[in-house]
Each structure stands twice: as C-alpha cells, then as structure tokens.
Chains A and B, each alone.
Chain A
Amino acid sequence: MRSSDSAFLDTLGVFYPGRAPQTPTCVYDYDIRVYRPFSMRRWVRPQIQFEIDHLHPFEPHPAENAFPMYEWGLNWCIASSAHRYLMLHAGSVAFGDRAMILPGTPGSGKSTLSAALVLSGARLLSDEFGLVRPERGDLLPMPRGIPLKNASIEAIREFRTDAPLGPTYPKTRKGRVSHVRPDDTSLAQQDRPAVPRWLIFPKYVAGVAETLEPLDKTDAFRQLAFNSFNYRLLGDAAFNAVGAIIRNVDCYTFRFSRLERAVEHLTALVAETETPGT
C-alpha cells in the first residue's frame, strides 16, 4: 500500500496501525497505490486514483473521499480474487472461537448491528465479507473499519458516545459514510479463525419490537447461498461449505429497531447456547 496523500495515510494509520509498511519484505497479495493523478484536476476539484497491480479499475474519486475509496477498492480486490474462500456478504463477529454470521443486504442493518456487537465486547471478524475456508468451514478474520452510512452513524454515536468513529465523509456514492475502527483485541487476534455457531439474518425495521425467530434450515441454506458472492463460481465446494455451515449453526431471522435491545437479545442467545446442558 503506497500513497503520496498524507491525510489519507494518517487515516489509514488509525485504522491499520503498523500495517502499512513502506518497504516490501514479503510477498504481497495486492500492490495498491492511492495517488492524485497529474492533471488540471490536481488544482481544481482534486481527485484521487486507486491503482491495483498497475491497473485502474475505477474512475477517480474526489480527493477527500480517499479512505472510503480505498476501502471499496480493497473490497473489489478481495471479491475479484479470493475465490479460494467462500465469500459471504455478511458481517461476522465472534464470541471466543464461535462465530455469529449476520448476512444481509444494504439497509438490513448488518453493519450497524455488527458494530454495536463489537462495541459491546464481541470480536470483529469482518464486515461485508465473511471469508469461509471451504475445507475447514471456519471463518477467517479480516478486521477492518466498519462502514456506517447516513443515519447509522448517529445510531452508533447514540449507542456508544465514545465509539471510535473515523472522519465522516459527507458526500460519497453511498451518501454520508463514517467507519468504526476495530478494537485492539480484534486486530490482535486477526489470525484466530472462528467456527460458525449462529446464523442470523437481521432486518432493521423502524419501531419494531426485537424478534428473534428460528429459521428453517432449507430456507437458511437458500438465503446463505444467495448471500454468497461466489457460490456459483465454487460449485460443489460452495454447496458443501454452505451445507456444513447450516448443519453446525442455529438459524434465525432477527427483526430489530433499537440497538441496545438488539445487542441484549443476541448476547442472551450466546449465553444461552453456552450454558451447559442447553
């Protein structure tokens, strides 16, 4: 990861402390450069360019959105190359070595819920991508900033006034965006995989009472496969991996509106599962 943009590097340092070495000492997965292209735009409405392995897959973004663009670009890198893993469109957190998978579409509240769980002591495995090793069925951590959009930013600020939020980017392609920095424990344990134990399909519905309902396993299979980026690509490996997850987890749908209550429900579920004899 290289960049000449000092403001961007400062933000990167907050979210990935000590993880942006300037001197290559090992084999890298991606060679990324974030820089201001040399053109008239350098002075008038400056832009920033994302380069991956000397390619430019995207149009330049406004320079002030360098960090969100980097995060989205990194998503693109992973989604387009990490096909040795089953990629789930899901947030995932861990309680000890047991993972809770929260698949969902934009607006379902999965990122906000994941952030709230992490701020309440869960370990962040990943947001947006759940990376499953098909041969083992476990989830690999990839703790990165959790992007919150629009009203979710205030929701998290209200949930925890001391939430470690990065800068707010007021005008991105997703609206207002701010990232929750992963906690030190999650970062320190990013080499510690977790085994799926709960599969929860969250749905934020304004004003609704929190409701956790068991989900039929076949429906869960269908929905999890649907929420996998590369299910079709991996063929039988994905079929077996999704089946293995479904066999080993309790499946639920979860409608929620209040983060405090939502976290109470889910942590109670974890405690209940962990109680011997249940």
Chain B
Amino acid sequence: MTADRRLWFRNRPDCLSDPVCEGVCFDPATGETHFLGDLPALLLSVIDSEPVSVDRLTQRLTGADAIADDDRKKMIGALLFLEAAELVESRFE
C-alpha cells in the first residue's frame, strides 16, 4: 500500500476537542466540526507538525515498534480518513 510509505503530520493549530463528547472536535483551520471514531481520534491526538511514519505513530501510541499487519492496515485506513477530512496531511518519505 503506497500510503504505507507516507509520513503523517498536522502543521496547523490544534483542533478544539469537546471535553465531554468524545471524538467531537472543531478544526480552527477549516472551521469544520468533525465527529471522529475512536481510532481516528486517537491517531489525531499523537500527530503533530513533525512528519512521521506509521511505525513512529505506533511507537508514540503503544511504546512498541510494530503491530500486527491487519491492525496496521486499519491505522492507515483511519489516517486516510483523517486526510480526506483535511485534519492531517501526508507526504512520501
């Protein structure tokens, strides 16, 4: 999967999260409110302005270097959702 070789980052002000409604966030960069599932919300919480690989994101989340292939595919899928919603950006390594 070509997305596997991308680096992920968000070079914009942080989204505003609602403290009670999990996954509800407002993106000041676009003015849009998003309703995120658990996985996209979790990934967004560890993405910052530094472009990093999926492996690095996994490490940030779990402390481990790698996860199962199926789980990795799900993470990439969620990252693509986030990118489509203009919440994160990516570029190739």
Contacts and interface: CB of A to CB of B under 8 A. Distances in A.
Touch between A and B in complex, CB under 8 Å?
yes
B31 A243 contact: no
The CB with the most chain A CB atoms within 10 A, among B18, B19, B23, is that of B18
Interface string B17-43: 011111110101001010100000000
Contacts of B24: 218, 221-222, 243
Interface stretch (A43-51, A90-98, A233-241, A262-270): A233-241
Given A220-B21, A222-B35, 10 more contacts: A217-B21, A218-B23, A218-B35, A221-B18, A231-B33, A235-B31, A239-B33, A240-B16, A243-B21, A243-B24
B19 A243 contact: yes
Interface of A: 217-218, 220-222, 225, 231-232, 235-236, 239-240, 243, 246-247
Nearest to A216: B21
Contacts of A239: 16, 18, 26, 33
A220 B35 CA distance: 12
B33 A225 contact: yes
Contacts of A222: 24, 35
A247 B24 CA distance: 13
B18 A243 contact: yes
Interface string B35-75: 10000000000000000000000000000000000000000
Contacts of A217: 20-21
10 contacts: A221-B21, A222-B24, A222-B35, A225-B33, A232-B31, A236-B26, A239-B18, A240-B16, A243-B20, A247-B20
A217 B22 CA distance: 9
Contacts of B31: 232, 235-236
Interface residues of B, number: 13
Contacts of B23: 218
Given A236-B28, A239-B33, A246 B20 contact: yes
Contacts of B16: 236, 239-240
B63 to A, nearest CB: 29
In order of increasing CB-CB distance, the 10 nearest A-B pairs are A239-B26, A218-B21, A243-B18, A221-B21, A235-B31, A247-B20, A217-B21, A221-B24, A217-B20, A236-B26
Contacts of B33: 225, 231, 239
B22 to A, nearest CB: 6
Nearest to A218: B21
Contacts of A221: 18, 21, 24
A247 B20 CA distance: 7
A252 to B, nearest CB: 16
A218 B24 CA distance: 7
Nearest to A225: B33
Contacts of B20: 217, 243, 246-247
A231 B28 CA distance: 14
Contacts of B28: 235-236
Nearest to A239: B26
A225 B26 CA distance: 12
Nearest to B18: A243
